[in-house]
C-alpha cells in the first residue's frame, strides 16, 4: 500500500500526516519532508498516524533523525495503531516520544 | 560552515553506482557522509567483488569489483555513494586458489558474509523455515549507532557482590505460562525484570546471542517427528550481530534497538548483562559444512588446519577458530570492544575458553597473546572476563587458566565436589572446606572472585533433576541416549524420575535447598541456572541443546507449584547480599586480623573446633567472624550434615556478648526453613543444635 504524506507548518508546530505503510521504500520521502520541515525552528513535530498500518525500522529512525537535528523538539505520535505502539515499546522509542489519542493543545508546546 | 570533505566525492562509476577508494579501517560496513565504507581483509585472495542487494531480493542489484588500487596490503576497501542504507544487504565474492591441501578454499560462485557485519539477515524470524533453494542465506546489513542510552553505562558492580543468573533468551519466556506479550525475545525478558529484581540476582548471563542459525544440523526426531534445532546457539555466524530471531522486532530489522533497550532497562534495575560468547569455532563446521564467510574469505587465517589442510576439531564442532593468529585475535578484540562500547555489555563468559590459549598448530601456549590482550585491553578493563577453562580437545585448565590477574573461571571442581558432598559421598569434607573458601588451592594468586561457583548450569541436569535422576535420559535428543555426560554425580533420592511419594519429594526439596544454601554461603561468585529457583525440570535430559520446546523452556507455572523453593531461593540470595562477611575479594587467613578474639574463619565438626576431615565424614561446620567482614556485619555459623540421621552440633561462641539466631534450617518446612533477620528466633540452647538429616543450618550472631 503506497504511503500518503501530507505536511504543514504553523508557527512552531510541524504536522505530518501519514497514511498507508511506512516501509524502507517510502521512508526516504518522509525523511525529505521532515528535513524540509526542520528548516523551520519547530517546538513540536506532530505525527498523525491513525491511518498508518505499518512502520519499518526506517520509519522509526526518522524519529531519531529529527531528535538529533533538534534535541529540544517534542515529538507527538497521535493515534498510532497497536502494532506500531508495540514496536515503539519494544525498541525503546516509546519513551522518546509522546504517544496520545489527540493532537496536543497549545500548552503542550511550553 | 565546514566544507564537504574531498574524500567523500566519487571517483568511479559502474552501472550507475558511484564509488571511490575507501578507508581500510574499521573493517566492516560503516555509514560515512553520503555513502557506505566497505572494508574487508583477505591475505590470500587475488581479487574481491562487493555484491549489493536490495533487502530480501535474490538477485544482486550490482556487483562491483574492487579495482586493484583499492587494495592496501591485504585489505580491500571502497566507499559506495547514495545507497539506501535501510534497504541494503551485502556480501563478497572472492577470487583465489582452490587448493584445500594448502589451506585455500576460495570459490567465486559463493557470496560470502562479512565477518564484521553488525547485522546479519537471513534468520529474521525465529524458527521460520528457510527457503532451502536459496543460494545464500546470510547477508550483511548495516546497524546504526543512534540509540539513546541517556546516562547509561556498564554498571561495574564489584565482582564479589555478583549473583549471576544463567539464562537463555528464548527459553526464559517462550513458554505460554510466562505471560509476556512477546514470548521468547529480548522484549520478553524486559517484562520479567521485576521478577529478576525480586529474585535478587544482579547479573544475567545470556546463552549465545550472536547471530546463529537455529536450523544448523536441524533434524526431526525419528520417533516423535519433532524438530530438533540448534536451540542453544553455540555456533556463531556473525560475531558482531545480535540474534535477530530473539527480537520481537527482528522482522523489522530492529533487533539492535530491542536488545539495547533491554540492556538499558536491566541496568536501570541494577542488573548487569553478561554474554556467553563462542570464539572457539564457527557455524561452518568442517570440510563438509557450509561456506558462509570465513572459509571462503581466508580459510587458512581463520581456522586451525592440519598440515594437509583439514580442520582441527578441538571444539567438538568440526572446526577451530585460529584465535591466536594476529588477524583473528584482532577480530575477537574488535568484537568484544564493540559489544562493551556499543551495547554496554558488562562482561563475557567464554565458551571452551582453553581453545583461545592454543597456538596456530593447536598446542597450548604458556603466554597466549589473545588472553593477555583481552586482560589488558583499555576498553574491556572493567568488563568481567570468565573462562570455561577447558575444551573438547582435552585441555583442562580449571585453576591454571592463563589469567593475568583478570580472568575468572567457571569452577568445575566446585560443581563436582559440592554435588558429591551433597549426595552424601564420603571423603569430600576436606575439599568442601576448600571450595566454600573460594578455592584457594586453585586461585590463591587471584582471589576468590576468580571462582564462579555453580552446582548446575545449562550444560547438565537442572537442580531438580540433579536430585531426581541417577542417570541421564536423553532419548528425546534422537541420539540413542549416547550424548551428554555420564558423569553427573546426581542422586535420585530413592526413585528414578518423577515421584508421587511424599518422602521422596520432601527429600528432593530439601536437597535443592541445601544446594542453594551451600552456593550462597560460599566465597566466590555464585551462579544460578534459570528456573532452579522453582524446580525446573528437563525430565532427566542433561543435554537439552536441541529442544526449542517445553524441555528447554522455563515453565513459570512451577513458581506456583513450588512457592517454598522460590521463597527460599529469594531469601537466600537476600541473605548473601545482607552479609558482607560472605563476600570478599580476599581469601581467609585463618587468623584474627582485627583483634576480635576469633579468626576470620574457623572450622568445626559435631564438636566445636574439631572438624572431622576423616575419610568417612559427611559433616562440616564453619564460623565466619563478622568483625573481619570489612564493613559492619554479624558472625555467621554454618553447619552441614550430609549424614542420613540428625546429629547434635556443639556450637562455637557467637562472640561479643551475642547469641545465635536461626537464619536457615533446611530440614524445617516453610516458612521455618529460612527467616528474615528481624524474624529469626534465638536458639534456646546456645551451646548445641540438632542439625537434621541431610540438611544445613545457618546461624547469625545477634544481641538478645
- In angstroms, the separation between the Cα of residue B253 and the nearest Cα of chain A is 6
Confidence class for position A109, pLDDT limits 50, 70, 90: very low
B131 touches A: beta carbon within 8 Å: no
- Is CATH 3.90.1200.10 the right assignment for the domain spanning B589-702? no
Distance of CA B119 to the CA centre of its chain: 21
Place of cell 543468573: B165
Does the beta-carbon distance from A57 to B182 stay under 8 Å?
A: no
- By C-alpha distance, the chain B residue nearest A55 is B252
Q: Would the CATH topology of B6-141 be identical to that of B589-702?
A: yes
**Chain segment A76-92, per-residue pLDDT in tens:** 999 999 989 998 999 88
Neighbours of A98 (CB within 10 A): 14
List B203's β-bridge partners, or say none. Answer: B164, B272
Give the whole-angstrom CA distance, residue B451 versus residue B567: 26
Residue tagged active-site, from B388, B416, B459, B548:
B388
Give the whole-angstrom CA distance, residue B119 versus residue B117: 5
Q: What is the pLDDT of residue B5?
A: 66
- Is CATH 3.30.465.10 the right assignment for the domain spanning A4-104? no
> Does residue A110 have a pLDDT over 50?
no
> Does residue A57 have a pLDDT over 90?
no
* H or E element that contains B465: helix B463-466
**Chain segment B6-56, per-residue pLDDT in tens:** 667 899 999 999 999 999 999 999 999 889 999 999 999 999 999 999 998
- In angstroms, the separation between the Cα of residue B10 and the nearest Cα of chain A is 21
Nearest to B55 among A24, A64, A89 (CB): A24
Q: Domain locations in chain A?
A: 4-104
A26 touches B: beta carbon within 8 Å: no
> For domain B159-581, which architecture applies?
Alpha-Beta Barrel (3.20)
Q: What is the pLDDT of residue A66?
A: 87
A29 touches B: beta carbon within 8 Å: no
Does the beta-carbon distance from B86 to A57 stay under 8 Å?
A: yes
Residue in A88, A90, A93, A96 to test binding to B, most B beta-carbons within 10 Å = A90
A57 contacts A29 by C-beta, under 8 angstroms: no
Does the beta-carbon distance from B182 to A90 stay under 8 Å?
A: yes
Q: Give the CA distances from residue A107 to residues A8, A42, A66, B28, in Å, rounded to whole numbers and listed in that order.
A: 20, 15, 21, 47
B148 touches A: beta carbon within 8 Å: yes
B280 touches A: beta carbon within 8 Å: no
Q: What is the pLDDT of residue B185?
A: 97
Nearest to B254 among A24, A67, A91 (CB): A91
Q: What is the largest CA-CA distance in chain A?
A: 37
- In angstroms, the separation between the Cα of residue A24 and the nearest Cα of chain B is 6
Q: What is the pLDDT of residue B689?
A: 98
Ranking A9-13, B431-435, B470-474, B537-541 by mean pLDDT, the lowest is A9-13
Q: What is the pLDDT of residue B117?
A: 98
B388 is catalytic: yes
Range 238-267 of B in CB contact (< 8 A) with A: 247-249, 252-254, 257-258, 260-261, 264
Q: What is the pLDDT of residue B359?
A: 87
**Chain segment B399-412, per-residue pLDDT in tens:** 999 999 899 999 99
Does the beta-carbon distance from A86 to B87 stay under 8 Å?
A: no
Tell me the three cell numbers of residue B28: 566492516
Neighbours of A1 (CB within 10 A): 10
Does the beta-carbon distance from B254 to A57 stay under 8 Å?
A: yes
**Chain segment B600-630, per-residue pLDDT in tens:** 999 999 999 999 999 999 999 999 999 999 8
Average pLDDT (B126-140) is 90
Confidence class for position B485, pLDDT limits 50, 70, 90: very high
ipTM for the assembly: 0.80
Does the beta-carbon distance from A87 to B252 stay under 8 Å?
A: yes
> For domain B6-141, which architecture applies?
Sandwich (2.60)
Ranking B93-102, B238-247, B312-321, B505-514 by mean pLDDT, the lowest is B312-321
For residue B205, give the nearest of B165, B236, B238, B239 by alpha carbon. Answer: B165
Q: Chain A partners of B246 at a C-beta cutoff of 8 Å? A: none
B351 is catalytic: yes
Q: What is the pLDDT of residue A56?
A: 82
> Does residue B199 have a pLDDT over 50?
yes
Q: Domain locations in chain B?
A: 6-141, 159-581, 589-702
> Does residue A73 have a pLDDT over 70?
yes
> Does residue B515 have a pLDDT over 90?
yes
Tell me the three cell numbers of residue B441: 588451592
Nearest to B258 among A24, A28, A91 (CB): A91
Confidence class for position B425, pLDDT limits 50, 70, 90: very high
Amino acid at each position: 500500500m503506497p504511503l500518503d504524506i501530507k505536511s504543514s507548518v504553523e508557527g512552531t508546530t510541524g504536522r505530518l500526516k501519514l497514511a498507508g505503510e511506512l516501509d524502507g521504500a517510502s521512508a526516504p520521502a518522509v525523511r525529505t519532508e521532515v528535513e524540509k520541515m526542520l528548516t523551520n525552528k519547530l517546538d513540536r513535530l506532530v505525527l498523525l498516524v491513525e491511518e498508518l498500518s505499518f512502520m519499518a525500522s526506517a520509519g522509526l529512525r526518522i524519529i531519531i533523525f529529527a531528535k538529533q537535528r533538534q534535541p529540544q523538539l517534542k515529538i507527538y505520535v497521535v493515534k498510532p495503531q497497536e502494532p506500531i505502539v508495540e514496536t515503539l515499546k519494544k525498541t525503546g522509542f516509546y519513551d522518546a516520544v509522546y504517544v496520545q489519542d489527540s493532537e496536543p493543545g497549545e500548552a503542550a508546546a511550553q | 560552515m565546514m566544507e564537504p570533505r574531498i574524500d567523500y566525492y566519487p571517483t568511479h562509476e559502474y552501472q550507475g553506482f558511484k564509488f571511490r577508494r575507501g578507508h581500510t579501517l574499521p573493517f566492516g560496513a560503516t555509514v560515512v557522509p553520503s555513502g557506505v565504507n566497505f572494508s574487508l581483509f583477505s591475505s590470500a585472495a587475488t581479487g574481491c567483488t562487493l555484491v549489493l542487494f536490495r533487502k530480501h531480493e535474490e538477485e544482486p542489484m550490482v556487483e562491483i569489483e574492487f579495482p586493484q588500487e583499492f587494495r592496501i596490503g591485504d585489505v580491500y576497501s571502497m566507499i559506495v555513494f547514495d545507497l539506501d542504507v535501510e534497504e541494503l544487504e551485502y556480501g563478497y565474492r572472492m577470487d583465489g586458489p582452490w587448493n584445500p591441501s594448502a589451506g585455500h578454499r576460495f570459490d567465486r560462485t559463493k557470496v560470502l558474509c562479512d565477518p564484521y557485519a553488525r547485522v546479519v539477515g537471513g534468520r529474521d524470524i525465529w524458527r521460520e523455515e528457510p527457503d532451502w533453494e536459496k543460494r545464500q542465506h546470510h547477508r550483511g546489513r548495516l546497524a546504526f549507532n543512534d540509540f539513546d542510552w541517556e546516562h547509561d553505562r556498564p554498571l561495574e558492580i564489584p565482582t564479589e557482590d555478583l549473583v549471576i543468573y544463567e539464562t537463555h533468551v528464548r527459553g526464559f519466556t517462550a513458554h505460554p505460562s510466562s505471560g509476556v506479550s512477546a514470548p521468547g525475545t529480548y522484549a520478553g525478558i524486559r517484562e520479567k525484570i521485576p521478577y529478576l529484581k525480586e529474585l535478587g540476582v544482579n547479573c544475567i548471563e545470556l546463552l549465545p546471542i550472536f547471530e546463529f542459525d537455529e536450523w544448523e544440523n536441524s533434524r526431526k526426531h525419528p520417533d516423535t517427528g519433532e524438530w530438533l534445532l540448534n536451540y542453544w546457539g553455540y555456533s556463531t555466524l556473525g560475531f558482531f550481530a545480535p540474534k535477530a530471531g530473539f527480537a520481537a522486532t527482528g522482522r523489522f530489522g530492529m533487533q539492535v534497538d530491542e536488545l539495547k533497550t533491554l540492556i538499558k532497562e536491566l541496568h536501570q534495575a541494577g542488573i548487569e548483562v553478561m554474554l556467553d560468547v563462542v570464539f572457539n569455532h564457527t557455524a561452518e563446521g568442517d570440510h563438509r559444512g557450509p561456506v558462509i564467510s570465513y572459509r571462503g574469505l581466508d580459510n587458512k587465517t581463520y581456522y586451525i588446519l592440519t598440515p594437509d589442510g583439514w580442520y582441527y576439531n578441538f571444539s567438538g564442532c568440526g572446526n577451530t577458530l585460529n584465535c591466536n593468529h594476529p588477524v583473528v585475535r584482532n577480530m575477537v578484540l574488535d568484537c568484544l570492544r564493540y559489544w562493551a562500547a556499543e551495547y554496554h555489555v558488562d562482561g563475557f563468559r567464554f565458551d571452551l575458553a582453553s581453545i583461545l590459549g592454543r597456538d596456530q598448530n593447536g598446542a597450548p601456549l604458556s603466554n597466549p597473546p589473545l588472553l593477555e590482550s583481552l586482560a589488558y585491553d583499555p576498553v574491556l578493563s572493567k568488563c568481567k572476563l570468565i573462562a570455561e577453562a577447558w575444551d573438547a580437545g582435552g585441555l583442562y585448565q580449571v585453576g591454571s587458566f592463563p589469567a593475568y590477574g583478570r580472568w575468572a573461571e567457571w569452577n568445575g571442581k566446585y560443581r563436582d565436589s559440592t554435588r558429591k558432598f551433597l549426595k552424601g559421598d564420603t571423603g569430600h569434607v576436606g575439599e568442601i572446606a576448600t571450595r566454600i573458601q573460594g578455592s584457594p588451592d586453585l586461585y590463591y594468586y587471584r582471589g576468590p572472585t576468580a571462582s564462579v561457583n555453580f552446582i548446575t548450569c545449562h550444560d547438565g541436569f537442572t537442580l531438580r533433576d540433579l536430585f531426581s535422576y541417577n542417570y541421564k535420559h536423553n532419548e528425546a535428543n534422537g541420539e540413542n541416549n549416547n550424548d551428554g555426560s555420564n558423569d553427573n554425580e546426581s542422586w535420585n533420592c530413592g526413585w528414578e524420575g518423577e515421584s508421587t511419594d511424599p518422602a521422596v519429594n520432601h527429600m528432593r526439596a530439601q536437597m535443592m535447598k541445601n544446594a542453594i544454601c551451600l552456593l550462597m554461603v560460599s566465597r566466590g561468585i555464585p551462579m544460578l541456572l534459570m528456573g532452579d529457583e522453582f524446580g525446573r525440570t528437563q525430565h532427566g535430559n542433561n543435554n537439552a541443546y536441541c529442544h526449542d520446546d517445553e524441555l528447554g523452556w522455563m515453565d513459570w507455572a512451577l513458581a506456583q507449584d513450588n512457592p517454598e523453593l522460590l521463597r527460599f531461593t529469594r531469601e537466600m540470595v537476600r541473605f548473601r547480599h545482607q552479609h558482607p562477611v560472605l563476600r570478599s575479594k580476599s581469601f581467609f587467613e585463618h587468623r584474627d586480623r582485627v583483634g576480635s578474639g576469633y579468626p576470620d574463619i574457623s572450622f568445626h565438626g559435631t564438636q566445636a573446633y574439631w572438624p572431622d576431615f576423616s575419610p568417612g565424614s559427611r559433616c562440616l561446620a564453619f564460623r565466619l567472624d563478622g568483625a573481619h567482614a570489612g564493613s559492619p556485619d554479624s558472625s555467621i555459623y554454618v553447619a552441614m550434615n550430609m549424614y542420613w540421621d540428625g546429629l547434635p552440633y556443639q556450637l562455637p561462641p557467637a562472640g561479643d556478648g551475642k547469641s545465635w539466631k536461626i537464619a536457615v534450617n533446611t530440614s524445617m518446612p516453610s516458612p521455618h526453613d529460612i527467616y528474615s533477620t528481624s524474624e529469626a528466633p534465638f536458639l534456646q540452647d546456645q551451646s548445641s543444635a540438632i542439625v537434621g538429616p541431610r540438611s544445613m543450618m545457618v546461624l547469625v550472631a545477634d544481641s538478645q
